[in-house]
A and B are shown apart, each in its own frame.
Chain A
């Protein structure tokens, strides 16, 4: 666990059923915890969801976040992920103005350099799908600004610890 204030990534395994996200987001609101991003999706078992939450705060706040999450009955397991030992990814869809052929080919080139994909083409705009850590996506968006960014949709960070460490529910539990 990082000692200093900064960005923390919390990974939680929760019951995959209606109302759970409400309970969790309601707890964050009530306890005045500021969440930066939150992503949810089905985990390795169908009846479980993995929630990845990024928080800006100090160690004590994040410890409280973990304890308050653990206290919720629908939350099964919670861990703080060590950034040095975690794979984090985010996906962004960026709609960029391409008024002319030059702009269009520039945007396509940049997208390739960033290992992105053009997923929609219109007369005067392109939608680029880009995946990576938050820094990479920020850098790409900066690069697109001179062309005119029309819309951005970001998923927020999802994360898994590397190698042998895991945040999962053991079978039989």
Chain B
């Protein structure tokens, strides 16, 4: 037991969790904590909007595999975090968000929380449906244990965001602090080990499958199961499609990789997954964007579903073999069970079909003329390192990036999948760059998204965090325009953003580098310059406003019915 203030205890507890970076903005209800941070070893990245602090923590977590930490003051600071927290929740990203709160008791000893004090917001009530859990310690002495519990919950089982709301008097009060390791939860014990009987059933199905297909999701990345996935796929000669969130868990130049499945999935994934006789779905949740019409999804397949969150099993699709377990341990168990007895199959016809469909996709791109986003992303991919980190905004830029920026390693493609948050990619890139300062971090952006969080150019310049923002600029809310073009008879309602801003001048106004490019050659040159730069670079790439993202499965359709824009 050591006597200290709650604020000091918080910082000590963070150090014990090896949290060495905080993305945040101070405010009245956090001053005691910031006073301790003033001379602590913890790096603080001062953001310009709390939403960006949460997204940066999220980007940091996804790039590093560690828990990301953000901090915001009470009231509006806390509510500004909400989008970022919801985003982390939907994509199962482990972040801990600390918020200031008004005093539990005010000077006249009447209870203060709940009295609508200055900058008070019920952030516990607000974030309950979008967090894995949230805490509001009422005494200073609770703070070390709360931090321990928050990190434990955020990072174990199915990861997710946790909010810790800190009333100001708990920060200033002094108490005996217990920095032990005990964590007690009667109602939280994630199950990691797969049940041997379920593994047996799944192995038998896979052993006898003629056309086995694997769909791998974000869970494969968060459990670090990429090599187990590849080993099993190679053993079974089973092609692997990934969900959007799973991008990176299977190298996309692997012969068995089909690429992404779903609304804007590849031709190969969308045509072949429905043909499977046995489908192994791992660390994924059959989201509507992945399955299309769920009632017609893989009608002929026996489905094995592995997920650590039992509530995902049977939620959207009822599997034949449910396995509640950690993806890594389950895939390893399946591999170990199959490796001795499995008679390797040739599947040469099946493999030929994969190659044919991949070629169809390549031809689709080859037929496009001019400075088209697919072409420029394919060429860009060739000049950046294999482990460069790509983040994206949301909309056409995101789907082009998902389709054409081949991803080779886990944690190198970071995007807002579940919530679809425009403005996510840039602050996420800041977090990723802090986590991985030695690799280039590139935000594939659209003009509509980037403008939503571009004020944090200031944080990158002042904080010395050089990232690259590639603005595919069509002066449009391009994805909505695409839907209006395809499904609403070209009635372009409220999607034309006009010319402003001038992104080069915008970048320069913040002390960043701005480059406008007019050709593929100029683009590649600009990216090379940007990779060497020690300030953030914004590259403005004007593109045609009528560009569509293809392939596309019309909403609610079957995944095999793709529009290719021919």
Contacts and interface: CB of A to CB of B under 8 A. Distances in A.
A30 B133 contact: no
Contacts of A15: 186-187
A73 B153 contact: yes
Given A27-B129, A73-B132, 17 more contacts: A19-B124, A22-B128, A23-B128, A26-B128, A26-B129, A60-B314, A60-B318, A63-B314, A67-B310, A67-B311, A67-B313, A67-B314, A67-B315, A71-B310, A71-B311, A73-B187, A76-B187
Nearest to B310: A67
B38 interface: no
Contacts of B187: 14-15, 72-77
Contacts of B125: 22
A77 B185 CA distance: 12
Interface string A145-162: 000000000000000000
A64 interface: yes
A121 interface: no
Interface string B305-340: 000011101110010000000000000000000000
Interface in B266-319: 309-311, 313-315, 318
Interface of A: 14-15, 19, 22-23, 26-27, 30, 60, 63-64, 67-68, 70-77, 169, 173
A111 to B, nearest CB: 42
21 contacts: A14-B187, A15-B186, A15-B187, A19-B124, A22-B128, A27-B129, A30-B129, A64-B311, A67-B315, A68-B311, A70-B310, A71-B309, A71-B310, A73-B133, A73-B153, A73-B188, A75-B187, A76-B187, A77-B187, A169-B186, A173-B186
A172 B315 CA distance: 33
Nearest to A74: B187
A73 B311 contact: no
Interface residues of B, number: 18
Nearest to B149: A73
A163 B276 CA distance: 48
A23 to B, nearest CB: 6
Contacts of A169: 186
A70 B310 CA distance: 9
Top 5 closest pairs, chain A to chain B, by CB: A67-B311, A76-B187, A73-B188, A76-B186, A73-B133
A73 B162 CA distance: 12
Nearest to B315: A64
A66 to B, nearest CB: 9
A60 B317 CA distance: 11
A30 B187 CA distance: 21
Nearest to B185: A73
Contacts of A76: 186-187
A85 to B, nearest CB: 25
Given A15-B187, A72-B187, A76-B186, A64 B314 contact: yes
A27 B314 CA distance: 18
Nearest to B133: A73
Contacts of A74: 187
Interface in B216-275: none
B171 to A, nearest CB: 21
Contacts of B311: 64, 67-68, 70-71
A112 B313 CA distance: 51
A22 B136 CA distance: 15
Contacts of A70: 310-311
A97 to B, nearest CB: 41
